Structure 1
Amino acid sequence: MAKSMLIVSRHAPWGGLGAREALDIALAGGAFELPVGLLFLDDGVFQLLPGQRPAAVEQKDLAANLQALPLFGVEDLYVCRQSLRLRGLDGQPLALSATPLEGPELADLFDRYNLVITL
């Protein structure tokens, strides 16, 4: 049985290296055909907003990395509904299609993966 990995991305795209590292790990796992899921939690939900202007805060754009996820086989994308709600983003259009989860659904998600990495 193949091992699986859930990556929990908790950082905003402009809040340091955490968001980029989470995407890099997801892409690397997908490249090696490892079953990978990616959960956007806490400020990580900001990565899913379209139309970001990272140059304004002297950061690199993560949009290309996000769009490459399905090309690397990373198609299991999830977002914490409560994180969206607490940040006033519930109902906002997202740059990627991600399944919203909350409460017991999140616990079930963690149970489905052999390895969980939080960044």
Structure 2
Amino acid sequence: MAKSMLIISRQAPWNGPSAREALDIALAGGAFDLPLAMLFLDDGVFQLAPGQQPAAVQQKNLAANLQALPMFGVDELFACGHSLSRRGLGSDALELPVQVLDDQALAALIARFDLVVTL
């Protein structure tokens, strides 16, 4: 039986390669039918913000990778409610439908998975 994996993405899309690497891991795992989910935490919630202009900071656009997650079987997408509110992002205006979790639900989510990868 395949182990389940939670990928926690904590970096903004313009803050180095970590955001792209987290998405690449999720897409690769999904392609191999690995049971996995993705959690956007801290500055990682900025990946979900609409209207990004990555070329302005000489970065690649992650929007296509984000939109591909459900096509690769990554249907469980979560965001930290505290991270969203601290960064002025409303859950109703995000680029992807995510389940917004409070701190208690975050702990339960992390405990649910066999492997946790944080980038």
Per-residue deviation, residues 26-46 of structure 1 (Å, max 9, x unmatched): 000000000110000000000
Q: Unaligned regions of 5+ residues in structure 2, if any?
A: none
Structure 2: how far apart are the matches of 1:103 and 1:21?
25
Shift of 1:91: 4.6
Give the unaligned 5+ runs of structure 1.
none
Structure showing the higher helix proportion among its residues: 2
In the alignment, the residues of structure 2 paired with residue 4 and residue 92 of structure 1 have an alpha-carbon distance, to the nearest angstrom, of 28
CA distance in 2, matches of 1:63, 1:90: 18
RMSD of Structure 2 on Structure 1 (CA): 0.9
TM-score (norm 2): 0.97
Q: Which amino acid aligns with 1:31?
A: A
How many residue pairs get aligned? The number is: 119
- Asked whether the 8 Å contact 1:7–1:39 carries over to 2, the reply is yes
Q: How far apart are 1:2 and its partner, in Å?
A: 2.5
Over the matched positions of the two proteins, sequence identity in percent amounts to 66
User: So what's the TM-score if we normalise by structure 1?
Assistant: 0.97
Q: Residues 91 and 100 of structure 2 are in contact (CA less than 8 Å); yes or no, is this contact kept in structure 1?
A: no
